[in-house]
Amino acid sequence: MREGDYQGSLLWVLDATVTPMGRRLIRKWVEQPLINQAEICKRHAAVEALATDNQARGDLRMALDGVYDLERLAGRIAAASANARDLNALQLTLSRLPSVISILGEFNSATLSAICQRINPLVEVVSAITQAIVEDPPVAIKEGGLIKPGFSKALDELRTVAVGAKEWLGTF
């Protein structure tokens, strides 16, 4: 795998992930296998629960399909290099969490139930982004037009002044 021999490798056989985070996790698990028997049994029970419930597994795959890479988005946000489209990608991905939590709860697995308990759906973050950011924002934040009209009265007033000033300058 390290030398580019992905196809035909154990990872290639096992990797049925639909997200970049899942792909990185399965790779880590293959490269750094568990050695504690109790942990191995817990993971095996969770995998067995996923493998035996075809309907719930399919629902989970559909809920996860198309989500953006949260680890990379979080890194961009932490580094203050995120753009508006990154924020919309974050909103879309986080909006899927309630569904993912619900579906994970359908499996007969203590490990998957524990994962459900640890997931914070961040409803407030989803709501804030949905209320503030336009649906199709510009790539560069400097272009403006990022915040929805009506979100901030002060910003709306500044926009009106800016447009009025441009029109006023255009008359000269």
pLDDT number for residue 162: 80
Q: What is d(CA 20, CA 18) in angstroms, rounded to the nearest whole number?
A: 7
Residues shown for the chain: 172
Summarised one tens digit per residue, pLDDT across range 83-118 is 888 999 999 999 999 999 999 999 999 999 999 999
When pLDDT is cut at 50, 70 and 90, the band that residue 166 belongs to is low
**pLDDT higher than threshold 60 for residue 2:** no
Domains of the chain and CATH, by start: 53-170 (1.10.1420.10)
Summarised one tens digit per residue, pLDDT across range 6-26 is 888 888 898 899 999 999 999
Summarised one tens digit per residue, pLDDT across range 25-78 is 999 999 999 999 999 999 999 999 999 999 999 999 999 998 999 999 999 999
- How many CB atoms are located within 10 Å of the residue 89 CB? 20
Residue 66 near residue 57, CB atoms below 8 Å: no
